[in-house]
Amino acid sequence: MRRGQLEHVLRAASTIVGEHDILVIGSQAVLGSVPDELLPTEATTSSEAGRQRSGPR
């Protein structure tokens, strides 16, 4: 997953759950803080992103 792909997932998740703030944890978190061109190839090989709702709904 590249940064642009993660951004797409986050926009979609934000729309689905009706929340503006999305917390990214785990290995995908680095994609939001480091430009793609500075990451080793291994950092962009994950193809998954999960979600966890915060607080009761």
| Chain segment 5-17, per-residue pLDDT in tens | 888 988 998 999 9
**pLDDT value of position 37:** 85
Task: Compute the distance between CA of residue 50 and CA of residue 2 in angstroms, rounded to an integer.
Answer: 15
CB 28 within 8 A of CB 20: no
7-31 in b/e form (b: 16+ CB < 10 A) is eebbeeeeeeeeeeeeebeeebeeb
More confident residue, 28 or 54: 28
Q: pTM for this one?
A: 0.67
